[in-house]
Amino acid sequence: MLAILVLLAILIPVISPYDPSAQDLRAFLQPPSADHWLGTDQLGRDLFTRLIYAARTDLSIMVLAEIIPFCTGIFLGMLAGYYGKWMDNIISLVTDTFIAFPFYLIVIIVAFASGAGQRGIFITFMLVGWIVFARVTRGVTVSLRQQEWVASAQTLGLSGIRIMFRHILPNVLPQAVVVLMTDMVGLLVAIVTLGYLGIGIAPPTPDWGTMISDGQSFITTAWWLSAMPGLAVVYTGIALSLVGDGLADLWRRR
C-alpha cells in the first residue's frame, strides 16, 4: 500500500500530462472524468495530479522531519535508561514537561513563531518529536539493563558507549521503528492540519491540508475537492500502520 503511494509520487511527472499548478479556467470544477480522473478544482487544476504532488511534499517532509528526532530520541532514551540516576532524572523531567503540553498547542505556537511553511514544521518536530522515542527507548533500555549479557559485557571491560551502541541499540531498534511508523501517522496528520489552518505549507505548493481547506467552499457542488485529499491522508495512515504491524510481527517471530 505504501509502496504504491511512493511509486506514484515518484512517477507522477511521467504518468500525468498536467502541471500541478497550471490553471485552466475554462475547465474549472469539473467532476471526475476520463481526462481528469478526479476532476478539477476551482482554478481548473487537475486534482489527481495535485493530490499525488501533494503526497510528494507531505511524505518527504514527514520523513525528513522524523529522522533527527528519531536519532536524538533513541540516544537520549538509551542514556537515561542505561546510566540511570541524575542522567535519567534530567531527561525524564524534560520529557514529562513536554508531555504535559498538548502536542497541537506546541505545534501551533512554534509554527506561528517561526513563520508558516516547512521550516516551522521542522523546528516544531525537532523540539517535541524526540520525546516519544526517548520514552520508549528508556523503558526498553531499563529492562535490558537487568539482563546478564549487559553485565557480562561490563565485566569484559567494554565502555558504556560501546555497550549502548553495540549491545543495547540492536535490541531497542525494533520497538523504536514500530513506534516510528505510528508516530509518522501523527506527524502527517499534524502537517495536514497545519496546512488546513493555513500555517503549514504555503500555496501554491500542493499539500493535502491546503487542498482540503480550499475545497471546503465548494463542498456542496464539488465534494471531491475536499474528500479526495482527506481519503489520501486516511490511506497513508493505514498504510503506515500496516507497515508498523508487519515489522512488529516480523521481529517478534525472530
Partner 1 sequence: MSHGLHIKDLTVRYDGVTALDRIQLNIEEHTTLGLVGESGSGKSTLARVVAGLIVPDEGIISLGDEPLTRKRSRAQRKKIQMIFQNPDASLNPRLSIRQLLSEALLFHGIVRRSELEQRCLELLARVQIDGSALDRYPHEFSGGQRQRIAIARALSVEPELLIADEPTSALDVSVQLSVLELFSSLKQELNLTMLFISHDMGVIHAISDTVAVMRHGQLVEINSKDRFFARPDTAYGYQLLSAVPKMPAGTYSRRDTP
DSSP 20: T
Which of 105, 157, 252, 253 contacts partner 1 by CB under 8 A? Answer: 157
| Shortest spacing between CB 147 and partner 1, in angstroms | 5
Q: Is 147 in the site for partner 1 (CB under 8 A)?
A: yes
The three-state secondary structure class of 146 is coil
Q: Is 152 in the site for partner 1 (CB under 8 A)?
A: yes
Q: Is 148 in the site for partner 1 (CB under 8 A)?
A: yes
Helices 208-216 and 224-253 cross at an angle (nearest 10°) of 150
Which of 155, 220, 252, 253 contacts partner 1 by CB under 8 A? Answer: 155
Q: Is 253 in the site for partner 1 (CB under 8 A)?
A: no
Binding string, residues 166-205; x marks residues near partner 1 by CB under 8 A: xx--xx----------------------------------
Task: Dig out the grid coordinates for 234 from the structure.
Answer: 486516511
| Shortest spacing between CB 148 and partner 1, in angstroms | 4
Which of 64, 151, 219, 238 contacts partner 1 by CB under 8 A? Answer: 151
Give how many residues touch partner 1 by CB under 8 A.
17
For 142, residues 6+ apart whose C-beta sits below 8 A from its C-beta are 81, 84
Q: What is the DSSP string of 34-46?
A: SSSTT-B-TT--B
User: Which residue, 147 or 217, is less far from partner 1 as judged by CB?
Assistant: 147
Which of 112, 113, 161, 162 contacts partner 1 by CB under 8 A? Answer: 162
| Shortest spacing between CB 71 and partner 1, in angstroms | 19
| Shortest spacing between CB 150 and partner 1, in angstroms | 8
Q: Is 143 in the site for partner 1 (CB under 8 A)?
A: no
Q: Is 102 in the site for partner 1 (CB under 8 A)?
A: no
Residue of 117, 23, 142, 143 lying closest to 61 (CA atoms): 117
The three-state secondary structure class of 115 is coil
| Shortest spacing between CB 160 and partner 1, in angstroms | 11
Backbone angles phi, psi at 40, to 5 degrees: -130, 165
At position 59, the amino acid (one-letter code) is L
CA distance 141 to 145: 6
Among the candidate windows 75-83, 143-151, 209-217, 236-244, which touches partner 1 by CB under 8 A? 143-151
CA distance 190 to 105: 11
- CA–CA distances in Å: residue 30 to residues 212, 216, 220, 251: 17, 16, 13, 48
Q: Is 85 in the site for partner 1 (CB under 8 A)?
A: no
Task: Dig out the grid coordinates for 208 from the structure.
Answer: 493535502
| Shortest spacing between CB 252 and partner 1, in angstroms | 13
DSSP 164: I
Q: What does the binding site for partner 1 look like in residue numbers (CB under 8 A)?
A: 147-149, 151-159, 162, 166-167, 170-171
